[in-house]
Chains A and B, each alone.
Chain A
Amino acid sequence: MRASFTLLVLLLCCTGCWDMKEINSLAIVTMAGVDKDPDTGEFTAYYQVINPTGLSTRIGSTSRAAVYTFNFKDYSIGKFSEKTGMSMPRRFFTPHLQTYIISERYARSGILDILNFVELSPERRSNVILLVTDSPMYKVMNSFTSLERVPGRFIRDMTSQYKPNFSMSNFPIRFKDFAKQMNRHTPIVVPIVHYNGENPSSKTSRLEQIDATRDGMSYGRAAVFIQDRMVGAVSEQMKNIFFIINSKYRQTTETFKVNGSLVDVQAANIHVKRKWVTPGSRMVIEVHTDLHLLNNQQKNKMTLPNIHDIEAAFDLSFGQRLTAFERLSKDKGWDLLGIQDNGGNTMTWHETEVTFQIHSRLTTIGNSSTPYTLE
């Protein structure tokens, strides 16, 4: 019995290895770009595949490309992984995808198809971030980046920088956030990647160039998605306010004048509380924050009354920004304040009266108590 047992197990072993895939036979995709022609419905997918030897730190291999971009066209997303075999010598491997970038025209036509595809596929994670680009896709996907040699990581790390200031360190622009918000009314705001330049910097020689801004990528405006569809864009400032008001982001910088001189403060630990005065029609949003003084051009000594002046000036200035934000929300018809998801009426939410109350405390003033002045 024991012998036959062992024999059977061994036989079983001999037939194994169905799922074996050698690490050096994988095309590790780090970033994918998806574009869909709204007229024909044809997808164009760009995949950036890592070239491991290009990334290795051994001598003699540093000048080679870190990634290569492949692109494919088809009418259905599911066929891409098979299609990659036509021009990739290695096996298409997506679990390490860091970033999806979609074109603006695709975003505007709705991204439900790719969302469902990513959620279904066991090969793809849905905690990868999704970004929109307003530049042509081929430029974004065919460009090398500075400092981080893998563009996928470049973009991901750019977002990761903000993460510590988000509540629970989550930048809510991942596929899973889209899935979670699918039936909510609050929009999702996603940064737009912008490519600064005429031509794609598709040669590694670009990495030898000192000007990193030119022919590089940066964040600018932000795209507003309602459910699965991009409906428009807001400025970078409005994007920040959006995250703050929805208790997702906790920090911002504000510039205003106190006694006729410029003052910059950083508002940290922002807490937002919503209260319905009369349910459905009047709402009070309270904002509590600690201020850190960044720049103070006033001529007089830092005194207690002066600190109160700064606090009051901040409350005023920030309140104006919030009001502007509210106006934008109502003008465009996007529920950026999240009124409906917080007990507001779906039909009459834009008639809701919103009042902002800002309570700030200046807690950190920096190293100098009194500025230098000329007599």
Chain B
Amino acid sequence: MENPKLSAWQMFNLLFMYIIGTSFILLPGSLIADAKQYGWMIGVWSFVYGIALAGFWLYLSSRFPGLSIVQIAVQVLGKWAGGLVSLLYILFFIQIASWVTRNLSDFMHINLMPKTPLSVFNILILFVCAYAVIKGIESIAMVSEFLAPFVILVFWLSFGVMVQEWDWQNFRFPYTFRPIETFIHTRYALAFPYMEVVSFMMLFPFSTRRLKLSVFSGIAFSGILFSLSVFFTIGILGVERSSHLIYPIFIIFREMEFTNFAEHLESIFSVNTLLIVCIKLSILFYCAVLGICQLFQLKERAVVAFPLIWIISAYSLLFESIVDNVDWIQKYLFQYYLHYAVAFPALLIVCSWFRKKKPSQGREPSA
């Protein structure tokens, strides 16, 4: 098996693409609906939370240098219990991957091609991602490195044009802000992009240098950009409209017109979305495949990747519609993610403390 290496800059870009991924098409609408003109603040505190959580994972990872979460679990908890935890993580990655797939195909289905069946989008996009997975994380990292500046530039340039619709009155919506209640109510925003980052526990071992800096800055940067885009959405679309729309940012692009020729620029947004989501999906897919390979000691990623396409695409059809999906996100996502993002890593840390105390030289006897 190859031994990939990720530079700090690549790790930063991967994280950026991963966090921005589906969240900036899906989240702004419900955030603004829940917190009105203060929606952007949720973006701020959730990325602070994301950084804290990442520090926690990094601590676990630094106790076992060179090992991914699947390997750590097997090493700490032994073959059977650890294997079970690893398997759960693998299922978790597959699950998120299928949600991401579904988000993308929903987006395409609603906005661009209403007659094409969802599974066509799913299968095609998963094939492309499977190819990326087989080529390895280094290739995915390099693509994200290549795309990130382009994506940011195009997005903000065209977004900037819409500032002509800016209206400060949008921030004077009659609404009293109660931070604690809002915080509890919008806990899904903590879960949705930031707790998913736990899958990077699979990738931390590949980092060559300045891992902490790249992870923290990656989360902070994407969190700031996300908050900014929510802020812009409020300023441009207004609280009233953006809380009623499913894809507010898409609508901003759709309604953009400057000069008579350059109008109807939603294609820019769709293209951006597609590329970013492709990266996010490839990362998740890679984590799932890598986890399986590590757990069952397989050498060839292709053997795992191709069957997984069918599993993910079938799993992604589980939700009936986007309303179902959004409902699940708002009600249960936080509790569900809590297991993987906090409970299991905490368990592993505690167990590793005990392990460390018993045999003085630590790691050799396990696994």
Contact = CB atoms under 8 A, between A and B. Distances in A.
Contact of A168 (B166, B237, B241, B254): B166
Contacts of B245: 119
A147 interface: no
B38 to A, nearest CB: 17
Contacts of B111: 122
Nearest to B170: A180
B110 A119 contact: no
Contacts of A170: 164-165
Interface in A1-41: 1, 5, 8-9, 12, 15-16, 18-19
A9 B127 contact: yes
A364 interface: no
Nearest to B128: A9
B21 interface: no
Interface string B159-197: 000001111011010000000000000000000000000
B291 interface: no
A19 B169 contact: no
Interface residues of A, number: 27
A183 interface: yes
Nearest to A15: B120
A320 interface: no
B114 A169 contact: no
Nearest to B167: A180
Given A1-B302, A170-B164, A19 B115 contact: yes
B164 A176 contact: no
Nearest 9 A/B pairs, CB to CB: A127-B255, A168-B164, A19-B113, A180-B238, A18-B115, A18-B116, A19-B115, A179-B241, A19-B116
B114 A16 contact: no
Nearest to A246: B169
A42 to B, nearest CB: 28
B306 interface: yes
Contacts of B113: 18-19
Interface in A50-67: none
Nearest to A341: B169
Given A16-B116, A179-B241, 16 more contacts: A5-B127, A18-B113, A18-B120, A19-B115, A122-B114, A127-B254, A127-B257, A168-B166, A170-B165, A180-B237, A180-B238, A180-B240, A180-B241, A183-B240, A184-B169, A341-B172
B117 interface: yes
Nearest to A186: B169
Given A12-B123, A19-B113, A170-B165, A125 B254 contact: yes
Interface in B253-304: 254-255, 257, 260, 264, 302
A183 B240 CA distance: 8
A289 interface: no
A12 B114 contact: no
Interface string B109-135: 011111111001001100100000000
A125 B306 contact: no
Contacts of A8: 127
Interface in A165-204: 168-170, 176, 179-184
Contacts of B165: 168, 170
Contacts of B254: 125, 127
Contacts of A119: 241, 244-245
Given A1-B306, A168-B165, A12 B257 contact: no
B164 A169 contact: yes
Interface in A116-142: 119, 122, 125-127
B123 A125 contact: no
Interface string B64-89: 00000000000000000000000000
B25 to A, nearest CB: 14
20 contacts: A5-B127, A9-B127, A15-B120, A18-B115, A18-B117, A18-B120, A19-B113, A19-B115, A119-B244, A122-B111, A125-B255, A127-B255, A168-B165, A169-B164, A170-B164, A180-B170, A180-B241, A184-B169, A341-B169, A341-B172
